Structure 1
Amino acid sequence: MTQQHPTDLADPSDVADQGTIAGKVIAITGANSGIGAAIAEHLAQRGASVVLGARRADRLAEVVERIDAAGGVAFGLEVDVRQRADVARLVATAQERYGRLDVLVSNAGSMAISGFDELRQDDWDDMVATNLTGVLNGIGAALPVFRAQGSGHFVHMASTSAHRIVPTQGVYAATKTAVRVLSEALRQEAGPDLRVTVVSPGMTNTEWVRSAAADDDAASYVRSIAQPPSAIARAVAYAIEQPAGVDVGEIIVRPTAQS
């Protein structure tokens, strides 16, 4: 599933030096719903060309169509971040269609939370493969591109679960803590030309969070206090729009009602 929307792009070196979003080429994983879709639509509205990857091609097509209808520039392709070749293809597609890649937002995630006694080991494996290996696959695909360009920005999605551990979220929290750790190590190795940002959302009104609720009452409570995905999209935009030489290391965004 693909759609093409040509655009006139500024010179890559000019865009990299500007504290702006307009004109940037931004790839986003997990972009077919929730936080990923909100990030894609917000950045496209701000003038970025967005290259979107997700496993559910039909849902991804709907996001691309909404961006297109609003006058934005978007291209979507089916991507499973657990597969190294898929993430490499996402990065290569951005380069082929728009001449470069300025930002990679590694947003795809799994939140199949459960207590350890349930022994849902397939879910544990999926969270490690998606939340952690998926981010590493993004680094492996984009880092050589960013080095060659002399500029680039990694945005990695963690969670407030990496800051406050609660029952049933042990494996999920471990993967998100690992994302924070590897992102800081990458930042230290990146040097002055690359940027690395971790965004740690709190309770956000997405289908993943609602499905994790134990019952209808819990799901209703989640909806009543959870922040909208657009709050995370604005945080990502804030990090991206900083001028060259300014690196926003981590942003924690949570509802005021969250403990």
Structure 2
Amino acid sequence: MTYVNLAGRTAVVTGAASGIGAAIATVFAANGARVALLARRSDRIAELAEKLKDNGGQAIAVTADVTSDESVTAAAEAIHAAFGRVDLVVNNAGVMIPDDITTASFDDWRKMLDTNVTGVLRVIRAFTPDLTADGHADLVNISSIAAHEFFKDYAVYGATKAAVTYLSKSLRAELGPKGVRVTNIEPGLVRSELRDAITGDAGAFLDSWIAEAGILAAEDLADLVAYATSRPAHVNLRHLVALPTTQL
């Protein structure tokens, strides 16, 4: 599908090494946007950047860890040096570690909070001056249906995503008058590498749930992000929930 209004824009996509992030970067580049791929796995984003360029797109790979202030600052500097002002930011990097609240590791909680919440804030802080500089820009935060639905053993993950959903709502009030559209997207079950790291009973439960409810492809979410960010400047799709039709 073609999204004409993405041509000539400069986008940052976090968590771009695989899954939803890689799919978003791909559709952006295919529609004429300059794309900065941010992730910790240098080899994966370098490979994707070369693939996008081979297909006629403009892309750079920027190794970055959203849990590090210094890393995000350095990434922003590298992107500015390569592409100049950024006018489209997608906060997609995330960690999902399900566990019982009584036995879960504090380190796992910290990892989810620092990636899913503070990491989002770091990226927003780094690029807000860009987004507000010229009267039209987009900030997209990938939250989750877990932000307001109950799933056993996902209490802390859901809490981090509830924070993202609330943050998006608040930032729309702050940044909207400056021409920045803030879009919060809450996916349901989506095929990604987050599933691969979940083992044991939690993994078996997830497999059973997917078999019953179905699952979206990463490209389905990428299509939704491209659609939202390519609307005319006066149209803000501020809150989108994307589920498999059979997921209740």
The residue type paired with residue 38 of structure 1 is: A
Q: 1:208 aligns with which of 194, 214, 228?
A: 194
Residues 1:150 and 1:95: Cα distance change in structure 2 (over 3 Å): farther
Whole-Å separation in 2 of the counterparts to 1:124 and 1:71: 41
Q: Which residue of 2 aligns with 1:38?
A: 23
Asked whether the 8 Å contact 1:36–1:108 carries over to 2, the reply is: yes
- d(CA) in 1 for partners of 2:15 and 2:199? 21
Distance 1:163 1:213, change over 3 A: farther
Question: Which residue in 1 is equivalent to 2:247?
Answer: 258
Per the normalisation by structure 1, the TM-score is 0.87
Once residues 121 and 133 of structure 1 are traced to their aligned partners in structure 2, the CA distance between those partners, rounded to angstroms, is 16
Q: Is 2:228 the partner of 1:239?
A: yes
- Identity, in percent, stands at 37
Question: Aligned-pair distance for 1:219?
Answer: 5.8
1:133: which partner in 2?
Answer: 118
Give structure 2 stretches of 5+ with no counterpart: none
1:159-214: per-residue Cα shift (whole Å, max 9, x none)?
01012121110000000000011111111011141111111111111121243254
1:99 is the counterpart of 2:92: no
Quickly say closer, same or farther: Cα 1:169–1:160, change in 2 above 3 A. same
- Which of 46, 54, 59 is matched with 1:61 structurally? 46
Structure 1 residue runs of 5 or longer lacking an equivalent are 1-17
C-alpha distance in structure 2 between counterparts of 1:105 and 1:240, whole Å: 10
Name the CA distance, whole Å, in 1 between partners of 2:220 and 2:102.
35
| Cα pair 1:19 1:243 within 8 Å, conserved | no
Aligned residues: 242
- Provide, for residues 126-167 of structure 1, a one-character-per-residue CA deviation record: whole Å limited to 9, x for no partner: 000000001111111111222233332111110010121211
- Residue type of the alignment partner of 1:205: R
46-55 vs 146-155, greater mean Cα deviation: 146-155
| Contact 1:156/1:179, CA 8 A, preserved across alignment | yes
1:52 aligns with 2:37: yes
Correspondence for 1:184 among 158, 161, 169: 169
Aligned-residue CA RMSD in angstroms? 1.9
2: CA distance, partners of 1:95 / 1:25 = 10
SS in 2 for 1:149: coil
TM-score where L is the length of structure 2: 0.91
- Amino acid corresponding to residue 203 of structure 1 in structure 2: L
Q: Is the 8 A contact 1:111 1:172 kept in 2?
A: yes
**Aligned residue for 2:185?**
199
Pair 1:230-2:215 in alignment? no
